[in-house]
């Protein structure tokens, strides 16, 4: 029998969750087709603000990747907006003319940002805040700095404002009401919030009514009713949302503010359901995910023919996702005749807490500055518990209940089983605890994967970790010696020591002697072992390419579409007309789509087809280029400035030294990547003080720095010491890198290793112990004999051919 | 040249593939990755990770599994399924050895 056809309009968070439940409950009931106006998969809209603030990437907030749709046989039309529902024919039609028949239809069109129709509202530079395109447009606008004005001081407006400020813009928030976030906060908390944001450099104007956006060609300024004019290069309107019921209305369904549905998410047409922000149930439209997820579950039930769990209104809690600001609000906190309140303020600590009570029950809570008790209060609100007995200590939070103060762990222990830990995904304590026990979970990531707790906005991560500690007891100890991977109980340091002590010289030998628990290791331990062996036995060990990550195996960086990028060395960042011409020719010849100057003073060619790599390298090699190892846990770049060659401040030949170091050290493998720089004077134009190793040239010689970072972490370098000559500089630099090569754990950058070993210890060995320094230097020089071979020219002349060619190409007829 | 043996196609010799490695077989727009484990078993999977279509042929092969090069999902060569907490599966194809000759069938193995 053919399956019923389920068509969904909109691919936001609500229908995504609905499908997850449907596939669990009735996996084979429907053929599912989704039309989404946004040209992408389902992502976590809540997390757009961290993306805007630069704290997360789009990839990290995808909920269902393409594979998920493929796996469930879902046909997803990206970038297809539905323009008509024909209820008689039971079909929908997209703007591109695609027509799809349905047996059941779900409308999940979300909502649209409200735009105040003041003059100038459609000038270039006026944006709303709803989807990834908006975020990308804001990030683009923020690149040039400038002034941004955000209209609306609610949750979205403030998150946008904080994000833009993070991106370096000067930000003013214009808010109509007297205090910020008046829907979630009372005036006291609104004031504290405003003060905090202002102290960070944001300008906040309350009781401010926008009259006009000033052009004429693009946004130039914003004019308020009282005549004030605020300079603006970018205006964000975040003044509210409107449920998107247009399609439903045109199809003749009942639509008020939103699309009217019953407690089972059915619209006025029994074959059409609606979920999400566009739906209106019992007269209410919702704008937070918790109730939308409940709608999603109910709709999945309905589609599976189960009517046992109708939608129930429940209060929701909100947090503001601005890093460093803690606020939490839940329930109803308006003042009233029949209500009492309990307030706690701690001015020095910037804490404000207020509970609203009615008939001895908590009905609302606003917390500012300290929000750990939020979920506990929220629980009291939801359960309607009588609090007469704990009234005296209630405001101090859960830890104070039952006499003496408890530690935070005890507080978590005392939470009832049904206490909600993750508000976004509605995960309660018992679910987390029982999943940890039944599935034997040991890491936060596991818990996220299996329960979804802390997997959306992440604000409950601390609680989840406490629960893990509670459940796993001593065995959950994030600081314990980490085994390399699940194939062994030994940590990296032990393995390194044993490789030398027992003279282990091949991967199988290591695994045998150190009693590996798997037959041939895994993708974590094999690359590490391969590096340790390359480093410790340079002349004897035969590199095991099958244990290298693809980039190091084929000497290029894999891209998200399976093509590769090619970055040749440009010694010290210096190039020539001939080199540039050769690059231009290669780009033309192989139709390479993108050529980019990297952050490491050289040129990246991106989007090269794998089959073309050897030929590309062959051509580059003829022009004198060698591999830049942009893919390697090895020496990457040595950035330089122009130094005494040209600069009026230069004290030494920084360019020359940089080139010398790069030519001396290229090709060496290291535990993690190594980046260096040489600046000609303390103005430091080569940014040497955030590198793994850096040199600042001064009149009296060369100041050597190490252990800096500017990637996932930012850390200024430590000074290793001052030396007089270039030769000495080279020797010291090489020695410290060799020390790192011999001691660090695989994937550990220099700054982490140095912190672990101690800066003083490193200084002592490299600066004071001449003999030891010399020995490190010599060992490096020895290993370079085997490492300094250009991998590109080897492959251009045929090595590892199998990596670049298919084994067979089948003719299409063969398949018949 | 690909000789046909019933519905089995000859696609190469086992020694064309490095141990704990893979090679690709192209078929129209589709690519099938043929894997060889450390103990000389062979498997064939569509060269597409169930996560975000990463080329599995480029991954590290270990213990009957391959780790995808893009985001480290671990896919079972036997079933094509993601292991651990990840969920998803890629199509597997029947493949067998006739001596050292690798024979592949283009009828996807049943996925349940
Ligand atoms: C191309 C480039 C960006 C650009 O267009 O400018 C780049 C591109 C990538 N970087 Fe980078 N990084 C580039 C400069 C940097 C810099 C700046 C610098 O080197 O001065 C940094 C910060 C400095 C630092 O490392 O401390 C940087 C910090 C990172 C990190 C974070 C490393 C960390 O330990 O904190 C990663 C992730 C990692 O390595 O795990 C990363 C990873 C990557 C990867 C390899 C992502 C990946 O795994 O595929 C990107 C490869 C793209 C490709 O295929 O070409 N990239 N990356 C730059 C290449 C420089 C070069 O010529 O070799
Ligand atoms: C920046 C930001 C921060 C937020 N923070 C929080 C928070 O901290 N906590 C919280 O609970 N909630 C938060 N929210 C709200 C939450 O994201 C939304 O409530 C939720 O995403 C709504 O889900 P939905 O599925 O109803 O609609 P949406 O996710 O809006 O999805 C609707 C989709 O339908 C598509 N569509 C519309 N019309 C058509 C058509 N005719 N044809 C085809 N497709 C169509 C749209 O392109 C869109 O992709 C935030 C929202 C934003 C924008
Ligand atoms: S190039 Fe670097 S910064 Fe840019 S996306 Fe890739 S890893 Fe991130
Ligand atoms: S594509 Fe394979 S892990 Fe992401």
| Tens digits of residue pLDDT in A387-432 | 887 777 788 777 666 544 445 566 677 777 887 777 767 788 899 9
* Helix A132-142 × helix A155-166 angle, to 10°: 40
Calpha distance A277→A45 (Å, rounded): 13
Report A:771-800 residues touching B (Cβ under 8 A): none
CB distance A162 to A53 below 8 Å: yes
Q: Which ligand is nearest to the CA of A559?
A: 1
Calpha distance A469→A340 (Å, rounded): 38
Give φ, ψ of A598 to 5 degrees: -85, 175
The CATH number that applies at residue B37 is 2.102.10.10
- Among A277, A330, A420, A460, name the best residue to mutate to test ligand 2's pocket (greatest count of ligand atoms within 8 A of Cβ): A277
What was the pLDDT predicted at A17?
A: 94
CB distance B52 to B31 below 8 Å: no
Distance A111 CA to ligand 2 centre (A): 7
Q: From the options 3.40.50.300, 3.50.50.60, 3.90.1640.10, 2.30.110.10, give the CATH code of A126-239.
A: 3.50.50.60
What was the pLDDT predicted at A456?
A: 62
Number of domains in chain B: 1
Q: Tell me: the pLDDT tens digits for A711-757?
A: 888 999 999 999 999 999 999 999 999 999 999 999 999 999 998 88
- Which residues constitute the domain of residue B44? 3-105
What was the pLDDT predicted at A346?
A: 72
A4-111+243-303 and A126-239: identical CATH topology: yes
What was the pLDDT predicted at A1?
A: 62
Report the CATH fold assignment for A552-627.
Sulfite Reductase Hemoprotein; domain 2 (3.90.480)
CA diameter of chain B: 42
Give me the architecture of the A4-111+243-303 domain, per CATH: 3-Layer(bba) Sandwich (3.50)
What was the pLDDT predicted at A481?
A: 55
What was the pLDDT predicted at B102?
A: 95
Is pTM, for the whole model, over 0.95? no
Ligand 2 atom at minimal distance to the Cα of residue A15: 25
Ligand 4 atom at minimal distance to the Cα of residue B52: 1
Is B90 inside a domain boundary?
yes
On whether any CB of chain A is under 8 Å from the CB of B106, the answer is yes
Taking each continuous run of H as one helix and of E as one strand, the counts in chain A are: 27, 42
Q: How far is CA A179 from CA A190, A206, A301, B89, in A?
A: 5, 6, 42, 52
Which amino acid residue places its CA nearest to atom 13 of ligand 1? A599
Q: In chain B, what residues touch A522 (CB-CB under 8 Å)?
A: 62-63, 67, 74
On whether any CB of chain B is under 8 Å from the CB of A410, the answer is no
Distance A110 CA to ligand 2 centre (A): 5
Distance B67 CA to ligand 4 centre (A): 9
* Helix A444-451 × helix A429-439 angle, to 10°: 110
Q: Tell me: the pLDDT tens digits for A612-658?
A: 999 999 999 999 999 999 999 999 999 999 999 899 899 999 999 99
Ligand 2 atom at minimal distance to the Cα of residue A320: 8
Report, as an integer, the average pLDDT of A529-552. Answer: 93
Edge-first strand listing for the sheet containing B95-98: B4-5, B8-13, B101-105, B95-98
What was the pLDDT predicted at B5?
A: 46
Reported ipTM: 0.61
Report the CATH fold assignment for A635-787.
Sulfite Reductase Hemoprotein; domain 1 (3.30.413)
Is B26 inside a domain boundary?
yes
Q: Which residue on chain A is closest to B48 by alpha carbon?
A: A67
Q: Where are the domains of chain A?
A: 4-111+243-303, 126-239, 492-548, 552-627, 635-787
Q: What percent of chain A has pLDDT over 90?
A: 61
Is B72 inside a domain boundary?
yes
CB distance A214 to A185 below 8 Å: no
Calpha distance A103→A101 (Å, rounded): 7
Is B111 inside a domain boundary?
no
CA diameter of chain A: 90
Is B110 inside a domain boundary?
no
Q: Tell me: the pLDDT tens digits for B40-77?
A: 899 999 999 999 899 999 999 998 899 999 888 999 99
What was the pLDDT predicted at A277?
A: 96
Distance A562 CA to ligand 3 centre (A): 16
Residue carrying the six token digits 């045929």: A798
Is the previous residue joined to A136 through a cis bond, with omega within 30 degrees of 0? no
């Amino acid at each position: 029998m053919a399956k019923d056809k389920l068509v969904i309009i909109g691919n936001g968070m609500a229908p995504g969750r609905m499908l997850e439940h449907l596939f669990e409950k009735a996996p084979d009931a429907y053929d599912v087709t989704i039309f989404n106006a946004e040209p992408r998969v389902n992502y976590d809209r809540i997390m757009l603000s961290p993306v805007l603030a630069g704290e997360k990437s789009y990839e990290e907030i995808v909920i269902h990747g393409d594979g998920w749709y493929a796996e469930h046989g879902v046909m997803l039309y990206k970038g297809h907006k539905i323009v008509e529902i024909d209820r008689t024919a039971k079909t929908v039609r997209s703007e591109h003319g695609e027509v799809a028949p349905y047996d059941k239809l779900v409308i999940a069109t979300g909502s649209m940002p409200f735009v105040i129709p003041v003059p100038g509202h459609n000038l270039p530079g006026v944006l709303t805040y709803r989807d990834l395109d908006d975020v990308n447009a804001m990030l683009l606008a923020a690149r040039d700095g400038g002034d941004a004005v955000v209209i609306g001081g609610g949750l979205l407006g403030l998150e946008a404002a904080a994000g833009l400020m993070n991106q370096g813009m000067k930000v003013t928030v214009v808010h109509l009401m007297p205090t910020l976030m008046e829907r979630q906060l009372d005036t006291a908390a609104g004031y504290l919030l405003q003060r905090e944001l202002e102290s960070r450099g944001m300008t906040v104007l309350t009781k401010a009514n926008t009259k006009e956006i000033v052009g004429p060609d693009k946004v130039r300024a914003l004019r308020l009713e009282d005549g004030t004019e605020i300079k603006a290069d970018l205006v964000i309107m975040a003044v509210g949302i409107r449920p998107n019921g247009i399609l439903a209305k045109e199809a003749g369904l009942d639509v008020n503010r939103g699309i009217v549905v019953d407690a089972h998410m059915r619209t006025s047409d029994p074959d059409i359901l609606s979920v999400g922000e566009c739906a209106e149930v019992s007269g209410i439209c919702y704008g937070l995910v918790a109730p939308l997820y409940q709608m999603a579950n109910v709709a999945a039930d309905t589609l599976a023919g189960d009517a046992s769990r109708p939608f129930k209104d429940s209060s929701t809690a909100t947090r503001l996702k601005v890093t460093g600001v803690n606020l939490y609000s839940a329930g109803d906190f308006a003042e009233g005749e029949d209500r009492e309140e309990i307030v706690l303020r701690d001015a020095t600590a910037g804490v404000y807490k207020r509970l609203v009570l009615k008939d001895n029950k908590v009905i609302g809570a606003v917390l500012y500055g300290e929000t750990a008790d939020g979920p506990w209060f929220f629980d009291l609100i939801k359960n309607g518990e009588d609090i007469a007995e704990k009234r005296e200590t209630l405001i101090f939070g859960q830890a104070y209940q039952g006499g003496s103060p408890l530690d935070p762990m005890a507080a978590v222990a005392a939470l009832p089983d049904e206490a909600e830990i993750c508000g976004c995904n509605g995960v309660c304590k018992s679910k987390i605890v029982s999943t940890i026990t039944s599935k034997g979970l040991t890491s936060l990531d596991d818990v996220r994967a299996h329960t979804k707790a802390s997997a959306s906005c992440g604000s409950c991560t601390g609680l989840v970790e406490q629960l893990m500690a509670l459940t796993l007891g001593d065995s959950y100890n994030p600081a314990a010696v980490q085994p390399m991977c699940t194939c062994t109980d030994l940590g990296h340091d032990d393995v390194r020591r044993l490789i030398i002590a027992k003279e282990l010289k091949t991967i199988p030998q290591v695994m045998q002697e150190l009693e590996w628990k798997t037959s041939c290791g895994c993708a974590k331990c094999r690359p590490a072992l391969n590096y340790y062996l390359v480093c410790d036995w340079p002349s004897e060990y035969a590199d095991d390419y099958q244990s290298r990550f693809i980039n190091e195996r084929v000497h290029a960086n894999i891209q998200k579409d399976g093509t590769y990028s090619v970055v040749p060395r440009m010694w010290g960042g210096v190039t020539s007309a001939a080199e540039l011409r050769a690059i231009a020719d290669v780009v033309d010849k192989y139709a390479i789509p993108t050529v980019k100057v990297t952050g490491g003073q050289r040129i990246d060619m991106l989007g090269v087809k794998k089959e073309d790599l050897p030929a590309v390298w062959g051509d580059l090699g003829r022009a004198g280029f060698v591999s830049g190892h942009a893919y390697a846990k090895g020496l990457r770049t040595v950035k330089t400035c122009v130094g005494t060659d040209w600069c009026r401040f230069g004290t030494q030949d920084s360019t020359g030294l940089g080139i010398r170091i790069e030519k001396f050290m290229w090709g060496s493998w290291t535990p993690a990547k190594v980046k260096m720089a040489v600046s000609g004077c303390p103005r430091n134009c080569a940014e040497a003080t955030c590198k793994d190793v850096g040199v600042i040239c001064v009149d009296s010689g060369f100041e050597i720095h190490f252990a800096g970072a500017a990637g996932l972490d930012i850390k200024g370098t430590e000074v290793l010491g001052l030396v007089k000559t270039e030769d000495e500089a080279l020797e010291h630099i090489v020695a410290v890198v060799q020390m790192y090569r011999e001691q660090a754990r695989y994937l550990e950058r220099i700054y982490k290793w140095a912190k672990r070993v101690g800066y003083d210890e490193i200084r002592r060995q490299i600066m004071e112990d001449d003999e030891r320094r010399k020995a490190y230097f010599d060992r490096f020089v020895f290993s370079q004999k085997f490492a300094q071979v250009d991998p590109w020219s080897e492959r251009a002349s045929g090595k590892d051919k199998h990596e670049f060619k298919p084994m067979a190409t089948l003719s299409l007829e063969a398949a018949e | 040249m690909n000789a046909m043996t019933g519905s089995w196609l000859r696609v190469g010799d086992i020694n064309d593939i490095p141990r704990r490695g893979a090679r690709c077989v192209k078929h129209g727009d589709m690519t099938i990755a043929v894997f060889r484990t450390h103990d000389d078993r062979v498997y064939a999977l569509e060269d597409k990770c169930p996560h975000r279509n990463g080329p599995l042929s480029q991954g590290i092969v270990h213990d009957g599994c391959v780790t995808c090069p893009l985001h480290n999902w671990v896919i079972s060569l036997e079933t094509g399924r993601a292991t651990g907490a990840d969920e998803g599966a890629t199509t597997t194809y029947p493949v067998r050895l006739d001596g050292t000759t690798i024979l592949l069938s283009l009828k996807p193995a049943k996925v349940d």
